Amino acid sequence: MTTSTAPLSALVLPTPAGPLAVLLTPEDGVVRAAGFAPVADMTARLDARLRTRGVQQVAATGPIADAVARYAAGDLDALAEVPVSQPGGPFTQRAWQVMREIAPGETLTYAELAQAAGSPTAVRAAGSACARNLIAPFVPCHRVLRTGGAMGGYYYGLDVKRALLAHESGLLSAA
């Protein structure tokens, strides 16, 4: 965790699923929160140490804005290059890492996520890791589905989840 007290930088970037709010620590360029909600809502989800730093809206330029623009334009691996960090226990961290390894256009079930994260019986914990993810779509929890392919939940709504999956699968099938 960084010890700076400088305000977090906030970007709002266009995506195929709607505006994406991104909060990052300016001293290291690491994304600390991102999602399809207003900046204030994303800020409220942060832990207190980061939240107390405040937020400063900045121009939508730089490597994160570039990665999101490339993703929107069809470079579906662009978001995997962005450095991220969020608090969570060992299993949750492993689950988030596995989510980052799911190829665009592919999905896992919650059971497959639990297995890949090293705890095959931790299916509910895998679902919890998806629900607690602060860094969507950089940690692509939208690529995790219920057994049988049902959507399951998504913090930003199923329409956003469907839009992300359609963007990824549509571009792959068009290639």
Residues with catalytic function: 141
Gap between the Cα atoms of 59 and 95, Å rounded: 32
The verdict on whether omega for the bond into residue 137 sits within 30 degrees of 0, i.e. cis, is yes
Q: Which residues of 10-32 are buried (b: 16+ CB within 10 A; e: fewer)?
A: bbebebbbeebbbbbbbeeebbb
Pairing of β 144-145 and β 8-13: unpaired
CB atoms near residue 95 (< 10 Å): 30
Gap between the Cα atoms of 139 and 80, Å rounded: 8
> Tokens 């969507």 sit at which residue?
136
